[in-house]
Amino acid sequence: MEAAEIASITQHSGGAIGAAWLMIALPLVGAAVLLLGGRRTDKFGHLLGVLMAVASFVVAALAFVQLLGFAPGERRRGVSLFEFIPGLVDKVGLLVDPLSISFCLLITGVGSLIHVYSIGYMAHDPNRRRFFAYLNLFVAAMLLLVLADNYLALFVGWEGVGLASYLLIGFWQHKPSAATAAKKAFIVNRVGDVGLLIAMFTIFATFHSLTFSGVLDRAGDASQGTLTAIGLLLLVGACGKSAQLPLQSWLLDAMEGPTPVSALIHAATMVTAGVYLIVRSGPIFEGTGTAQLVVTIVGVATLLAGAIIGTAKDDIKKALAGSTMSQIGYMVLAAGVGPAGYAFAIAHLITHGFFKADMFLGAGSVMHAMNDEVDMRKYGGLRKVMPITFATFLVGYLAIIGFPLLSGYFTKDGIIETAMEHSAVLGWLAVLGAGITGFYMSRLVFMTFFGKKRWDAKAHPHESPAVMTVPLLLLSIGSIALGAYLILGNRFMIFLSPAVGAPEHLPEFHPFSAPGLATLALVAIGAAFAWLRYGAAEVPATAPRGSFLTTFARRDLYGDALNEALFMRPGQWLTRLAVFFDNRGVDGLVNGLAASIGGSSGRLRRVQTGFVRSYALSIFVGAAVLVGAWFVVGNL
């Protein structure tokens, strides 16, 4: 097969694709009704939220079916919405193509399941309506992000998901830790956003357009240096949103939010927006080897860092968050390889969306049963009391470690093979990351579901209600089957090729390649090691001190300490200096001036005695002096 070029965009109206704006509008209306309606909507708020998410999914599914009806070369459909600032973005529109529709199906599909799950999870929360309003707001913003046909609208969605993420991380804002975590996520994301904004400025200065069609079709016209600059700045934006090194520090703290939020925003969808940005801007990155190299290095570094952090966490959600970082590292690595990796990046993104959401929701189910305990050292032996949660979690676990024939096996193996062809070093580091994944995920599963009960005296774990377990079951079906469906026969790569292009030679799936076997072996070793340490052996109730390596991993590779030393402390010094200068310098000057004027006025005031006769005397004296002076001058 020839190297597939990116197809041009066909204008479209009518049908489900023409109504693609409904996908965004429905959840937005839901959010508006729930937020403006206030307590009046408390009774049905959660149902409206679910309804809007499901309706959005239905539109996405119909649009997907309609898209499949076109020939592959015509599967990029532009839907124009309204005229905007001429010269900047002439028309704001939506772009429905294989890439964006894949995201739409993931966001609305997994999003709907998580909405349903949240009915049960948030059942006892007095602010459940507000929670659903924010969830709907998130879905709307995320869909705008992936459906936009220009960088400006993408940026609006980009900020929208940032806002929703902030609101949802800090949903329990009465907890200081949650409020701090929300602010931290917001600030770190702003750093990335500055990168994205400057990238947009540079794009506009170079191409005089912000639409994808106007920029990406002409990416080859720009100089190598400009493309590298744009690519690196886009990468900064992607790093912020996707928690890649060096902007990774917010994701672990973001676990302060309710668990469905961690599943939807901080595992399945929002954190993958960076991968979307890189893949969507593919022609820019393909024009510059430097930017691609940096992308792959960031990906590999993050996949290892996330995996190492995951090994040391006792908090079940933080261990999963480390794992999310690591898996997105895989996606970024694949996205940096170029057209050969795009399909694997997005395929892994989709399967990861399923199995990671599955595991996060499973973790939420466990927490729900254990009075919101998150310390895995106080779990143990839960597989007997929570059979459905255990079974679905096990599926997600097997999928993420790449157990043969499950989703993660196909997609992650694809990434490793692609990276291996690109550069052996990157490939083997990715294999090593897979081995560590095998260890930390096994550790998590053994500590939670196997071994002896280490529960608190007050804990009475029970299986969660059906409204929570049914989404788990549906997600685990995706975790089992989706990978094979997407990867075998390069089905997904061919489907995506009109949107992102495809390599000259479609890869073939080798079940017994050397890297594949090495991955399996390392994963098996990691899992066995985890069984020895945490399955067969007794897990101590308090974490042992461990070596300096353990501390290194527990402290998130000193990421926070680094940020603190490099940015926070100097920032505080700067503010202190500014405050000092303001108090002593600026205020001193202003206050001193005022005090001197006040003091001299006080002295001058004494002249006013209030005695009419003394005023009269001064008038007379003055007049006499004037008359005298006149005589003197007149006589000269």
Partner 1 sequence: MTTHYLVLSALLFAIGGVGVLVRRNAIVVFMCVELMLNACNLAFVTFARQNGSLDGQVIAFFVMIVAAAEVVIGLAIIVTIFRTRRSASVDDASLLKH
> What residue ranges bind partner 1 (CB under 8 A)?
605, 608-613, 616-617, 620
C-beta closer to partner 1: residue 586 or 617: 617
Measured distance CA(274)–CA(279) in Å, rounded = 9
C-beta closer to partner 1: residue 11 or 609: 609
Is there a contact between 341 and 350 (Cβ–Cβ < 8 Å)?
Answer: no
Nearest to 95 by CA among 219, 217, 235: 217
Is there a contact between 288 and 231 (Cβ–Cβ < 8 Å)?
Answer: yes
The distance of closest approach from Cβ of residue 636 to partner 1 in the complex, given in angstroms and rounded to an integer, is 25
The distance of closest approach from Cβ of residue 608 to partner 1 in the complex, given in angstroms and rounded to an integer, is 5
C-beta closer to partner 1: residue 86 or 602: 602
For the four alpha carbons of 74, 80, 86 and 87, in that order, the dihedral sign comes to negative
The distance of closest approach from Cβ of residue 601 to partner 1 in the complex, given in angstroms and rounded to an integer, is 14
The distance of closest approach from Cβ of residue 620 to partner 1 in the complex, given in angstroms and rounded to an integer, is 6
Measured distance CA(470)–CA(388) in Å, rounded = 9
Measured distance CA(467)–CA(465) in Å, rounded = 6
The distance of closest approach from Cβ of residue 173 to partner 1 in the complex, given in angstroms and rounded to an integer, is 54
C-beta closer to partner 1: residue 593 or 623: 623
Look at the block and give the residue holding tokens 């007050």: 458
The distance of closest approach from Cβ of residue 609 to partner 1 in the complex, given in angstroms and rounded to an integer, is 6
SS3 state of residue 286? helix
Measured distance CA(196)–CA(161) in Å, rounded = 15
Q: How many helices (H) and strands (E) does the chain have?
A: 27, 3
C-beta closer to partner 1: residue 544 or 598: 598
The distance of closest approach from Cβ of residue 584 to partner 1 in the complex, given in angstroms and rounded to an integer, is 35
Measured distance CA(448)–CA(353) in Å, rounded = 22
For the chain, what is the radius of gyration of the CA atoms?
Answer: 31
94 beta partners: 79, 148
Measured distance CA(477)–CA(479) in Å, rounded = 5
Look at the block and give the residue holding tokens 């059906």: 466
The distance of closest approach from Cβ of residue 627 to partner 1 in the complex, given in angstroms and rounded to an integer, is 12
The distance of closest approach from Cβ of residue 586 to partner 1 in the complex, given in angstroms and rounded to an integer, is 34
155-159 contact pairs (CB < 8 A, 24+): 155/196, 155/197, 155/200, 158/193, 158/196, 158/237, 158/241, 158/273, 159/193
If residue 93 lies in a helix (H) or strand (E), which one and from where to where? Answer: strand 91-96
The distance of closest approach from Cβ of residue 629 to partner 1 in the complex, given in angstroms and rounded to an integer, is 19
The Cβ-side half-sphere exposure at 514, using a 13 Å CA radius, reads 5
The distance of closest approach from Cβ of residue 621 to partner 1 in the complex, given in angstroms and rounded to an integer, is 10
Measured distance CA(368)–CA(464) in Å, rounded = 8
C-beta closer to partner 1: residue 601 or 608: 608
C-beta closer to partner 1: residue 537 or 627: 627
C-beta closer to partner 1: residue 612 or 633: 612
**125 backbone dihedrals φ, ψ, rounded to 5°:** -90, 130
The distance of closest approach from Cβ of residue 616 to partner 1 in the complex, given in angstroms and rounded to an integer, is 5
If residue 232 lies in a helix (H) or strand (E), which one and from where to where? Answer: helix 224-242
Is there a contact between 240 and 247 (Cβ–Cβ < 8 Å)?
Answer: yes
Burial class (CB within 10 angstroms; exposed 0-12, middle 13-18, buried 19+) of 183: middle
Please list the alpha-helical segments (H only) found in 122-175. Answer: 128-147, 151-169
The distance of closest approach from Cβ of residue 181 to partner 1 in the complex, given in angstroms and rounded to an integer, is 60
Measured distance CA(560)–CA(552) in Å, rounded = 11
C-beta closer to partner 1: residue 540 or 610: 610
The distance of closest approach from Cβ of residue 611 to partner 1 in the complex, given in angstroms and rounded to an integer, is 6
Pairing type for strands 77-83 and 91-96 reads: antiparallel
C-beta closer to partner 1: residue 545 or 606: 606
The distance of closest approach from Cβ of residue 630 to partner 1 in the complex, given in angstroms and rounded to an integer, is 17
Is there a contact between 50 and 467 (Cβ–Cβ < 8 Å)?
Answer: no
Calculate the alpha carbon distances from 306 to 125, 171, 527 in Å.
Answer: 32, 25, 17
The distance of closest approach from Cβ of residue 605 to partner 1 in the complex, given in angstroms and rounded to an integer, is 8
79 beta partners: 94
Look at the block and give the residue holding tokens 């772009």: 95
Tokens encoding 498: 């009109």
60 beta partners: none
For the four alpha carbons of 417, 420, 421 and 426, in that order, the dihedral sign comes to positive
C-beta closer to partner 1: residue 512 or 611: 611
Look at the block and give the residue holding tokens 């490099």: 566
C-beta closer to partner 1: residue 609 or 635: 609
Number of neighbours of residue 25 by Cβ within 10 angstroms: 17
C-beta closer to partner 1: residue 612 or 636: 612
Residue type, 401: I
